[in-house]
Chain A
Amino acid sequence: MSRAKRIAKELEDVKKDQLSGVTLEMAEDDDLSHLKGTFLGPPGTPYEGGLFEVDIKIPNEYPFKPPIMKFDTRIYHPNISSQTGAICLDILKDAWTPILTLKSSLISLQSLLQSPEPTDPQDAQVAKIYLSDPKKFAETAANWTKIYAPNENYKPTGKEDYSDFTKLAENQKIINQDIDDCEKYGIDKNTVKIFEDMGFPRDKIIDALRKLNLKHVRIDDDMTQQKVLDEILS
């Protein structure tokens, strides 16, 4: 009912808007629950000049539950799996709200390419290189863009300058070293936050999680949370 109406409206809106560079279409005829979206690689990044395709599955509870998105185009990025295209982005998970749209999600993906979040990586291997060797990272990412995300309509500007992009990586590296035990042990930040909110100190939480060999606990997984609490309190 309202779900179909809303998706149809969203498709229409994207079609009308030529400026954003975002496209949205049904993957198969008359199936509003499976779409394909594309957007352009942001300028000044190694993804410039690429056209990225995203597979979009829309759950029955949409828009109250987020769309399920993954990259069809192979991409080299800390928050996107280089193997499966799975995406790690908060608004596609807990931070989703029904007021967000497919278009706004695609635009969020675009800005994710501009500013990666290496503390919350999807592809740990890629994230490691991003932090340790930003120049090499940018080269590889640019290479992948040329190979996997070619865009016929793109007119090269001539200069390939990713200095802003690599500078960001350098900064993140510094901040990162200061704060993050989570990343060191591969523990999900939001998981730590659940227990921090209960008033437990961070180091105790991380200790307990490490002892139980847990990297991630779902917010609604009371069973596991209780085990962690038992461990913290023991």
Chain B
Amino acid sequence: MTDDDEYFEDFSDNSSIELSGVDEDVLGNELSSVDISDSGEYEFDDGPGNTDSSSEILYSFYKSRTSGGIPTHRLKYRNIALDDIQKELEKDVKKVQNMLQLDYGKCLNLLLQYSWNEHKMLDMYMNAPNHQDYLLKNGIYEAKFPEDLSRLISTETDENILCGICYCGPTKDEPMNFFSMYGCKHKFCTDCYIQYLKNKNESGSMAIECPFADPKCHLKITIEELNVLSEYNNKMEEKHFYHKKQEECNLLSEEQIKQMYKLDSDSEFEFDEQLDVEDDFNNTVKTKEKMKIDELVYDFHTIIQQREREEIDKKRNRTIISKYWYNIGSRYCTINTKKYKHCPSPDCDNVVQFIGFDSDIVANIEELKRLLMIPLVRCKSNHQFCFGCNETAHAPCPCKVVQLWKIKCEDDSETLNWIQTNTKDCPRCHSLIEKNGGCNHMTCKSCTYNFCWICLGDWTAHRNNYRCDKYVPNEDSDVSKVRESLEKYMFYFNHFNNQRISHDKDKQILEIFENKIKELQINSGVSWIESVFYKECVNALLECRESLKWSYAFLFYIPNCRGKQLIETAQWQLSNKVEQLSRLFEDVEIGDVIKKKPMFLTIKSSMVTAQNVFLETCIDIFADKHTLKDFVQRWNIK
């Protein structure tokens, strides 16, 4: 232990842990939304989402003060979809359109060119000696679009025409469709043009240039032109899709359909969740209970067709045009990063909009970060992430400490390769044991020895059943300081990594579990609604594992002191509950799931309480200004 550890002794005694449940009080005065777009250049009169004040205001923490009375400086936010941003951006474009009297898509391209910096764009436009040249330089052909742009696609039969991309050409008997932008006459076949745009879309390009290259054509495709090709592509894909489905449908025999739905004449009707047509089908059945089977089969076909249509619609949501808007919206969030964050979950369309703070002293994210607070937000689809750094949730570890830890892990990864292995020898008989679930209580299959995965110690020695969380410095050893610090790091890294592995393994087990639940629904008529509770448990479990994982990184940076002990106690309580729930998932006989529902829910709710207490404890520790200052100075957190 070093001398400077003492700094951390000194924090006010507000650490009594109260196991209060959910807190309804909102102590913090509701501040009106703080406008953080401080640099005038990026200010918008009417920011996206502002108009839709109906959507609920959410908070980054479940209460405004901890049980110890410490303010949590919550971030206030709202959930919106990328589409909402699109609607607002369209207003911006229209505004520019009114001023410049240009086609819509051309104004959009100009705004894109200037990263939505409308003032700068207009400035450049107004000061340009020749507007036409200026537009041309920006890839825009000034002349107004004709009414009907669909004529940009032409059917060719001339054998002299050749597509410069696929080197194919039409013949008299086999005509080909070609497309060219309105402003240039560079024709390519529609298939190639579409493929070209899709590829550009995938790489996130906007204001895509004409493919012609000799000399390079810098004309940029507009949203109107993009729409012509997108519509054309939809029609083609739809045709193709129906054609394929028709074939598949014809292949399904009546017998197969009956079997799928277990339609025996005398048994009750039971349905397969997998096909996801249960609800509709169920309703159909209820109203026509005594219906003859062949009529049901007919209905089944109708439902399937309806689903297919929906599937097409879903696909259409990822058409050329929608993907293009997706990219634009996403980029807009990046530019206005203080106000909007696009959910980092892959392919998630949701956006979190910053509103303000539930605090007297915090005015922006940077100040919040300096207080070591973590603004955790949830998108509409319940993906939790940090508004401060746009990474997945990492509480209780502050953003800057996450960075420090990542760098440290990268630096030390070579020496620690061995830790990452997922197998260990049984400490008694040395047979190889693979960790098969998230729980740390291991039982050797060969010698039935019960031991702890982390320390390889006898499990009975883990007094409180699930305890193995504390790093105890080896007082006797006279190893060098360097070695000690590495050992300390390895201890925390081991735990950190172990939670990561457990997280993954939990996920695997839960997948198997999910399949079993499905079987259960089929075999014993348990309804989907009755079993849905376990999903809540799963999400909570995985989130708590993340908290635990990051808590080890955090603890690594906190010197030994009373505050650390308090955090460790709360951490242990959480870890205890997490292991209990994880074990329950692993052990439960699938037939007993419904019977054990109360048990699942009880453990889950005490786990969530433990998590809240744990996070509050971490907040309490740094409520003391000296403690905070010392910590920030020690690790050079700006």
Contacts and interface: CB of A to CB of B under 8 A. Distances in A.
A152 interface: no
Contact of A233 (B39, B191, B342, B390): B39
A2 B176 CA distance: 14
Nearest to A95: B216
Interface string A193-234: 000011100000000000000000001101101100110011
Contacts of A98: 165, 192, 196, 211
A6 B166 contact: yes
Given A6-B167, A64-B196, A199-B120, A219 B39 contact: no
Interface stretch (B15-23, B153-161, B307-315, B332-340): B332-340
B337 A2 contact: no
Interface in B109-157: 113-115, 117, 120
B199 interface: yes
A199 B203 contact: no
A209 B195 CA distance: 35
B114 A199 contact: yes
A223 B333 CA distance: 11
Contact of B117 (A2, A5, A100, A199): A199
B4 interface: no
Contacts of A229: 334-335, 337
Contact of A234 (B114, B191, B342, B366): B366
Contacts of B199: 61, 64-65
A233 B165 CA distance: 43
A100 B334 contact: no
B334 A226 contact: yes
Contacts of A198: 115, 117, 335
A203 to B, nearest CB: 16
Contacts of A219: 203-205
Interface in A118-151: none
A143 B83 CA distance: 61
A98 B366 CA distance: 45
B324 to A, nearest CB: 14
B139 to A, nearest CB: 13
A22 B199 CA distance: 29
A99 interface: yes
Contacts of A64: 195-196, 199
Contacts of B117: 198-199
Given A5-B167, A6-B166, A9-B167, A99 B390 contact: no
B392 to A, nearest CB: 12
Nearest to B114: A199
B23 to A, nearest CB: 32
B168 A5 contact: yes
Nearest to A219: B204
Interface string B166-191: 11100000000000000000000001
A230 B341 CA distance: 13
B390 A223 contact: yes
A63 interface: yes
A197 B111 CA distance: 11
A229 B213 CA distance: 33
A9 B196 CA distance: 20
B212 interface: yes
Nearest to B199: A64
A99 B164 contact: yes
Contacts of B209: 97
Given A64-B195, A199-B41, A226 B390 contact: yes
B323 to A, nearest CB: 13
A9 B162 CA distance: 13
B211 A97 contact: yes
A24 to B, nearest CB: 15
A233 B38 CA distance: 10
Nearest to B168: A2
A97 B166 contact: no
Most-contacted residue by chain A among B205, B213, B331 (CB, 10 A): B213
Interface in B222-271: none
A129 B109 CA distance: 42
A230 B337 contact: yes
Nearest to A197: B115
Nearest to B203: A220
Contact of B211 (A9, A99, A226): A99
A223 B337 CA distance: 11
A226 B114 CA distance: 17
B330 interface: yes
A197 B390 contact: no
From B165, B205, B342, name the one whose CB has the most chain A CB atoms within 10 angstroms. Answer: B165
Interface in B344-400: 344, 366, 390
B41, B114, B192, B338 — most chain A CB neighbours (10 Å): B192
Contacts of B410: none
Among the interface residues B209, B216, B344, which one has the most CB atoms of the partner chain A within 10 A?
B216
B229 to A, nearest CB: 15
A198 B214 CA distance: 29
A222 B330 contact: yes
A63 B191 CA distance: 13
A225 to B, nearest CB: 6
Contacts of B167: 5-6, 9
* Shortest 6 CB-CB contacts between residues of A and residues of B: A198-B115, A64-B199, A220-B204, A2-B166, A199-B117, A99-B213
Interface of B: 39, 41, 113-115, 117, 120, 164-168, 191-192, 195-196, 199, 203-205, 209, 211-214, 216, 330-331, 334-335, 337-338, 342, 344, 366, 390
27 contacts: A2-B166, A2-B168, A5-B166, A5-B167, A9-B167, A61-B199, A63-B165, A97-B213, A98-B165, A99-B164, A99-B213, A100-B213, A197-B113, A197-B115, A199-B114, A199-B115, A219-B204, A219-B205, A220-B204, A223-B390, A226-B337, A226-B390, A229-B334, A229-B337, A230-B337, A233-B39, A234-B366
Given A220-B203, A220-B204, 10 more contacts: A64-B195, A97-B209, A99-B212, A99-B213, A199-B114, A199-B117, A219-B203, A222-B342, A226-B337, A230-B337
